[in-house]
């Protein structure tokens, strides 16, 4: 089901929207995930606000916005202006990169209850990203940003070639470049094991195709190199 604009329903209470970006000159897509909580909307890694605003407003008030790592914050400014009562959860270090943003909740601190619908787990060992991943409990969905991607046949040929050369084509995986960012492998392995202890089946990455089922096994394979 798709409502007017670009929001697409994944399952009850969970929606996504995508935008186009460029990486090293290659076109690729980035995905926002929207969770409908009893109190309003929880937005993970927002994409451009227009033409989505009318659709978001029909779903409910925006109460939380999440910048899940130090890279995914590009569009937070317009959302902060449009929804001044919403709160931003982000890594503490983002304040240095984006002094224009008001960070209400540091992801390093104990996280809010989020109506009991969502819980977060920090991925350790990677100071460049400092990512937190999130579980949408009711739908058993794990929401990722750059922890792993799923670049497949639907992507531009140049991105497909990049993914093949970096060992991350057509499966949930990390590129060789991203693997190098994990400096503390012991800490990273412990945090990934904690994520794998969560109850999830679907995985929504910010880049590439959604893994509709078998997501836990796919994520475990993606990090089998991390020992």
**Distance between CA 199 and CA 101 in Å, rounded?**
33
CATH superfamily of this structure's domain 8-222: Ribonuclease Z/Hydroxyacylglutathione hydrolase-like (3.60.15.10)
Helices marked H in the chain — which ranges? 53-59, 76-82, 94-97, 157-165, 176-180, 185-196, 215-222
Average pLDDT, the chain: 94
pLDDT of 3: 41
**Beta partners for residue 150, in sequence order:** 208
Residue 4 in this model has a pLDDT that exceeds 60: no
Sheet (strand 132-136) strand order: 118-122, 132-136, 141-143, 202-204
**Average pLDDT of span 157-175:** 90
- The more confident residue out of 23 and 7 is 7
**Distance between CA 203 and CA 163 in Å, rounded?**
19
**Distance between CA 201 and CA 32 in Å, rounded?**
19
Q: At which residue do the structure tokens 């836990």 appear?
A: 216
**Average pLDDT of span 165-191:** 93
Digit-coded pLDDT (tens) for 111-138 = 999 999 999 999 999 999 999 999 999 9
Residue 180 in this model has a pLDDT that exceeds 80: yes
**Distance between CA 34 and CA 42 in Å, rounded?**
6
CB 212, CB 218: distance < 8 Å: no
**Average pLDDT of span 179-204:** 97
User: Domains of the chain: which residue ranges?
Assistant: 8-222
Residue 1 in this model has a pLDDT that exceeds 50: no
pLDDT of 193: 97
CB 8, CB 1: distance < 8 Å: yes
């Amino acid at each position: 089901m798709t409502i007017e604009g670009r929001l697409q329903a994944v399952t009850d209470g969970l929606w996504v929207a995508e935008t186009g970006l460029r990486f090293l000159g290659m076109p690729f897509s980035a995905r926002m995930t929207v969770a409908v909580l009893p109190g309003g909307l929880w937005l993970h890694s927002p994409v451009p606000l227009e033409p989505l605003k009318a659709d978001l407003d029909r779903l409910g008030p925006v109460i939380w916005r999440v910048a899940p790592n130090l890279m995914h914050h590009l569009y937070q400014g317009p959302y902060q202006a449009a929804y001044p009562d919403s709160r931003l959860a982000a890594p503490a270090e983002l304040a240095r990169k984006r002094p224009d943003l008001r960070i209400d909740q540091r992801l390093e601190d104990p996280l809010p209850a989020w109506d009991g619908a969502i819980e977060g787990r920090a991925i350790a060992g990677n100071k460049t990203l400092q990512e937190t991943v999130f579980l949408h409990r009711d739908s058993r969905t794990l929401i990722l940003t750059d922890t792993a991607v799923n670049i497949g046949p639907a992507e531009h040929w140049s991105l497909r070639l990049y993914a093949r050369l970096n060992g991350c084509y057509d499966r949930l995986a990390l590129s060789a470049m991203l693997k190098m960012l994990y400096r503390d492998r012991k800490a990273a392995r412990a945090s990934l094991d904690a994520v794998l202890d969560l109850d999830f089946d679907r995985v929504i990455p910010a880049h590439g195709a959604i893994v509709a089922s078998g997501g836990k096994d796919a994520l475990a394979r993606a990090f089998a190199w991390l020992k």
